[in-house]
Chains A and B, each alone.
Chain A
Amino acid sequence: MRALVRTAAAAATALALLLTGCGTGGDGGTDGKIRLRFQSLAWQKESVDINKQLVGEWNAAHPDIQVQYVQGSWDSVHDQLLTSFEGGEAPDVIHDASDDLADFAYGGYLADLRALLPDRLTRDIPRQSWRTATFDGGVYGVPFLQEPRVLIANTRILKESGVRIPTPEKPWSWPEFREVTEELTGEGRYGVAWPLKEPVSVTLNLGLSAGGELFHRDADGKVTIAMGEGDQVVPGTIHDQVNTDRSAARTALGMGGGDTLPGFFGGKYAMVPLGFSYRQQVVEQAPKGFEWTVLPAPAGRDGLAQGVSPQTLSVAEDSPHKKEAVRFIDFLLRPANMVRLAKGDWMLPTGTEALADPALHTADRGWATGAALAGTLRSAPAQSVRGYPEWKDKVATPALQEYYSGAIDAAELKKRLVADGNRVLARYQR
């Protein structure tokens, strides 16, 4: 009995002591200073460090407008922001990706930045990049970092095979790419490994090069899905590489980008199509002496065009300090700072002046190849289409996965993407 009482008392004391450590947050703000919260999704050490440095530099230069760095997370960012918006607790400055903004923009959670943006920034970022954050005529984010999909290739295998090495000026066409992957395929080796765990965005974004549009908006703004010839080039090539030529690894179809790297380093795959920022993982994980190079993705009727969803900086509609928040964004995205952010994230800046920085045009680690592709990047085809997430999850992902694995043919794919897809979109456009 005594032991029980002693234990209970000890537990209660410990609990009380623990709970005394739980204080309230609170922003203060009685000193007349403006305080902004900046939620950043930077996650790689270099990138986090640069973001924090920039916040520190701003705070030192603007004692009356202090910015607090808040570390966000790509995981569940949409739900987290939605809750914060609903609860009136959203950060003032919000880092996100442009394809996540549509719901927030249409929902009235984000400020329309058109009247707030300084001319310098508006001019510096090309129109096609602004389009990625423009919804219903309003601009709800500043696109600042983007990455094309590139081919990361094993230099030794490429040289030994004698195939023509593509450049941004003279890229491979899709049919040529298919031939090359056949040539690179050999004993225990595939020409390419397509990591298609998430097949929809890859297919749609690369499809732009062949004139693929898939989503068609009529004069009333209503979107319907139609699959033309151009839409079939990219999926057709991948399907044939896997099922006809056997030049693409079937096992890679279910993989994420990083999962293909061990096979790539081990010489099992000659090339892997990955986002530009994956170069960092290649640099970190490649075995000593492994030689690799960055090649542009194949080109089609529309050249090297491909869709991207840039990273963006937005301002919450509820923020009482929108002007100051935009001033801070303008500071973060000064050309020199944009270059620092881009290098930290191994991505490309959207700003024209930053993109011209010589540091981003070195042959080292493929920077020059990526920079040469920047002008060809367009708004991802589906990012402003309402109902796209449902179409992607319920219709397109399973259909494309089955098509790439050879379980269904092109006609069935078309039927599902178009007929089933239009039924889904119709519900969102009544």
Chain B
Amino acid sequence: MSMRTKRSVRAGQYLALLCYLVFLAFPFLWLISTAFKPAPELGSLHPTWIPQHPTLDNFRQAFDEQPLLRAAANSLIAALSAGAIAVVIATPMAYVMARHRTRLATAATGWVVVSQAFPFVLLIIPLFLVLKHLHLINTLWGLIMVYVVWALPFALWMLVGYVRAVPPELEEAAAVDGAGRLRTLVSVTAPLLAPGIVATALFAFITAWNEFFFALVLLKTPEKQTLPVVLTHFLGAEGASDLGPLAAAAFLATLPSLVLFAVIQRRITGGMLAGAVKS
């Protein structure tokens, strides 16, 4: 392949990448644009990317009409707790399943994957009854439990991959050097697993942060409701919506995930690569 052809191919690749990025970014950019548009511009036949008369009215109205801060705090508590607890439970389980490949571990992995196929509506009534029995309806504790249970199978499956990517030879070498089992786990395995743990926690966080239906069903009082539930209060029957405030509130709702991604992006990338490479 000549140098010229190579350059053309490379340019084509970059162009394709650019198109893909634009495609991915479009909904979010449009959301931002909508959030800052005044009502007449929302109903314009020729919408513009940049609001002609940018306004903060949608944000004011959104905060005025709905308890967004309280809802965001509830979401944050639920999502952070779910992420942390899921990782704490899943990590040792994943280690055992990855290092001790018995029939039971294989069957457990299969069950974990299958359990992801259950639809929400199939689970919600039994879950509701269990939580009611435990007096956990309308509590964030109850919701967190559901989120942990919901995130656990996939978290486990992810972490098993990460543990398998850590060469057992490293642990054996540590043992030969005289390190005990706990010391080996803490000093050798845990640091190598850290990116995977972060990626898994982030997955559980985002799953819980975005979740709507369980929160809608389990939380009764406005003080307990999470952000996705409160966002639906800008929607009426038959698809009617209060578009400006909805866009403003939805934009704010995406920020925590974005910030979290930005902060730990490097670790996630490392974690994903670690999970992808076999020793």
Contact = CB atoms under 8 A, between A and B. Distances in A.
| A interface secondary structure, majority | mixed
Given A84-B217, A97-B237, A23 B132 contact: no
A182 interface: no
Interface stretch (B168-176, B238-246, B270-278): B238-246
Bin the interface of chain B by size: 35 or more
A89 B213 CA distance: 16
B165 interface: no
B45 A266 contact: yes
A278 interface: yes
Contacts of B132: 87-89
B74 to A, nearest CB: 9
Interface in A41-93: 41, 43-45, 48, 68, 70-71, 73-76, 79-80, 82-84, 86-89, 91
Contacts, number: 149
B80 A15 contact: yes
Nearest to A49: B65
Nearest to B224: A25
A160 interface: no
Counting chain B CB atoms within 10 Å of each CB, the highest count among A37, A268, A281 belongs to A281
Contacts of B213: 76, 79
A261 interface: yes
A166 interface: no
A284 interface: yes
Interface in A250-280: 256-258, 261-263, 265-268, 275, 277-278
A430 interface: no
Given A43-B236, A86-B128, A19 B241 contact: no
Contacts of B90: none
B80 A18 contact: yes
Interface in B125-144: 125, 128-129, 132, 135-141, 144
B178 interface: no
B128 A79 contact: no
A257 B129 contact: no
Contacts of A11: 84
Contacts of A258: 239-241, 243
B102 interface: no
Given A11-B84, A25-B220, A285-B39, A266 B129 contact: no
Interface in A81-124: 82-84, 86-89, 91, 97
B224 A288 contact: no
Contacts of B229: 73
Nearest to B42: A285
Contacts of B18: none
Given A89-B137, A258-B240, A262-B45, A21 B77 contact: yes
A318 interface: no
A305 to B, nearest CB: 21
A127 B23 CA distance: 54
A76 B121 CA distance: 11
A261 B85 CA distance: 47
Contacts of B239: 197-198, 256-258
Contact of B47 (A15, A23, A262): A262
Nearest to A255: B239
Contacts of A25: 137-139, 220-221, 224
Given A262-B47, A275-B240, 15 more contacts: A4-B186, A14-B80, A19-B77, A21-B77, A22-B77, A24-B138, A25-B138, A74-B237, A83-B125, A84-B217, A87-B128, A261-B43, A267-B45, A277-B236, A285-B43
Interface of A: 1, 4, 11, 14-15, 18-19, 21-25, 37, 41, 43-45, 48, 68, 70-71, 73-76, 79-80, 82-84, 86-89, 91, 97, 197-198, 256-258, 261-263, 265-268, 275, 277-278, 281, 284-288
9 contacts: A1-B187, A15-B81, A21-B140, A22-B139, A24-B139, A70-B221, A84-B128, A89-B220, A262-B45
